[in-house]
């Protein structure tokens, strides 16, 4: 678990030196501590995530991406307790059985106040970690921020970290049962929490070198889950053989950018190009209703 108190001590010691270099370094440590909190929370749920699930580079974006895949509970405070249930493996266990168990508290996970964290992360950088372009037009010759402003923001981050450090346990997504299967292309295990899949969910292969992604769908009839590869078959213009291309590759294309591939059968070199196509909306709607 991240040693938040060590970060607090380091930042406080640097702040107390009061010179601008120490204050700037303290601000940098503030930013690193805020980022580390987000990374730790996501890392503990990493078995449910692929690098492609994490969109954006700011800590807030990373946590929000993880929440999109796992559910909001990953950022919330939670208590973890343990209790023993005399179980006979043949017996069905009910909610009432669990309610009668005596639990011992293992610890409490702090609430990750994401909006506040993000505001502090931005503001500490704004006052301390940039030489503002606006200074080109004023008489100041200092390339550093204002000492009083930096100290004020450091104190705000310290207060946030102190509050957060009251959590004495850290855990990721508690999902209940998982749905797992092996990637058809590379064999890596893909794991999704069943609770996080409503009607359908996209799962990216966790292997960084694999571009495969899958659509997991829940049956309307019995609620059972199944998966299918997200791919598009494109017929070769020469031999008409349909080569199956992972859909994820199309998501990387930008307008009029080419993607090269070879026909799996005749090896002819082909190009896929993303070109905007405009439809008459009424005609498209008419087509849908047929």
The stretch among 3-11, 53-61, 182-190, 280-288 that binds Zn ion (CB under 5 A) is 182-190
Using rule CB under 5 A, residue 185 touches Zn ion: yes
Q: Angle 21-23-27 (CA atoms, 0-180°, nearest 5)?
A: 115
Using rule CB under 5 A, residue 243 touches Zn ion: no
Using rule CB under 5 A, residue 238 touches Zn ion: yes
Using rule CB under 5 A, residue 244 touches Zn ion: no
- Beta carbon nearer to Zn ion, 105 or 238: 238
CB 252 to Zn ion: min, Å: 16
Using rule CB under 5 A, residue 239 touches Zn ion: yes
The stretch among 7-15, 145-153, 167-175, 200-208 that binds Zn ion (CB under 5 A) is 200-208
Using rule CB under 5 A, residue 212 touches Zn ion: yes
Report DSSP letters for 72-83, one per residue: GGGGS-EEEEE-
In terms of DSSP H, where are the helices of the chain? 4-17, 20-43, 59-70, 95-99, 114-128, 147-164, 247-251, 281-289
- Beta carbon nearer to Zn ion, 209 or 220: 209
Query: Quick one: how many helices (H) and strands (E) in the chain?
Result: 8, 11
Its sign, for the CA torsion 278, 282, 283, 284, is: positive
- Beta carbon nearer to Zn ion, 5 or 268: 268
Neighbouring C-alpha atoms within 13 Å toward the C-beta of 123? 15
- Beta carbon nearer to Zn ion, 51 or 132: 51
Instruction: Give yes or no for a contact between 172 and 45, defined as CB atoms under 8 angstroms apart.
Output: yes
- Beta carbon nearer to Zn ion, 29 or 212: 212
The answer for residues whose C-beta is within 8 angstroms of residue 117's C-beta and 6 or more apart is 34, 37, 38, 59, 60, 160
- Beta carbon nearer to Zn ion, 24 or 69: 69
CB 261 to Zn ion: min, Å: 11
Instruction: Give yes or no for a contact between 69 and 202, defined as CB atoms under 8 angstroms apart.
Output: no
Tell me which residue of 35, 15, 21, 58 sits closest to 158, measured CA to CA.
15
CB 204 to Zn ion: min, Å: 9
How many other CB atoms sit within 10 Å of the CB of residue 205? 25
Instruction: Give yes or no for a contact between 53 and 71, defined as CB atoms under 8 angstroms apart.
Output: no
29 vs 44: CA distance, rounded Å = 22
CB 220 to Zn ion: min, Å: 28
Using rule CB under 5 A, residue 190 touches Zn ion: no
CB 262 to Zn ion: min, Å: 8
Using rule CB under 5 A, residue 210 touches Zn ion: yes
- Beta carbon nearer to Zn ion, 83 or 242: 242
CB 115 to Zn ion: min, Å: 35
Q: For binding to Zn ion (CB under 5 A), which residues are involved? A: 183, 185-186, 188, 205, 207, 210, 212, 236, 238-239, 241, 263, 265-266, 268
């Amino acid at each position: 678990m991240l040693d938040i108190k060590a970060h607090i001590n380091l930042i406080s010691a640097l702040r107390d030196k009061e010179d601008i270099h120490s204050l700037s370094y303290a601000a940098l440590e503030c930013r690193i501590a805020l980022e580390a909190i987000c990374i730790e929370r996501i890392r503990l749920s990493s078995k449910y995530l692929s690098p492609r699930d994490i969109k954006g580079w700011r800590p807030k974006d990373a946590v929000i991406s993880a929440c999109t895949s796992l559910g909001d509970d990953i950022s919330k405070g939670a208590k973890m307790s343990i209790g023993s249930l005399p179980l006979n493996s043949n017996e069905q266990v009910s909610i009432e059985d669990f309610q009668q168990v005596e639990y011992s508290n293992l610890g409490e996970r702090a609430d990750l106040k994401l909006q506040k964290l993000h505001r502090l992360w931005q503001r500490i950088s704004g006052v301390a970690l940039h030489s503002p372009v606006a200074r080109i037009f004023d008489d100041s010759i200092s390339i550093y921020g204002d000492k009083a402003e930096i100290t004020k923001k450091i104190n705000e981050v310290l207060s946030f970290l102190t509050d957060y450090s009251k959590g004495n346990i850290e855990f990721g997504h508690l999902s209940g049962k998982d749905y797992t299967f092996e990637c058809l292309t590379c064999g890596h295990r893909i794991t999704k929490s069943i609770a996080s899949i409503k009607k359908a969910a996209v799962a990216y292969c966790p292997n960084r070198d694999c571009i495969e992604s899958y659509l997991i769908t829940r049956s309307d009839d019995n609620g059972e889950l199944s998966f299918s590869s997200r791919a598009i078959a494109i017929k070769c213009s020469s031999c008409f053989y349909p080569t199956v291309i992972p859909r994820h590759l199309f998501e990387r294309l930008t307008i009029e950018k080419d993607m090269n591939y070879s026909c799996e059968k005749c090896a002819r070199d082909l190009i896929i190009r993303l070109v905007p196509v405009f439809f008459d909306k009424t005609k498209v709607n008419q087509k849908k209703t047929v």
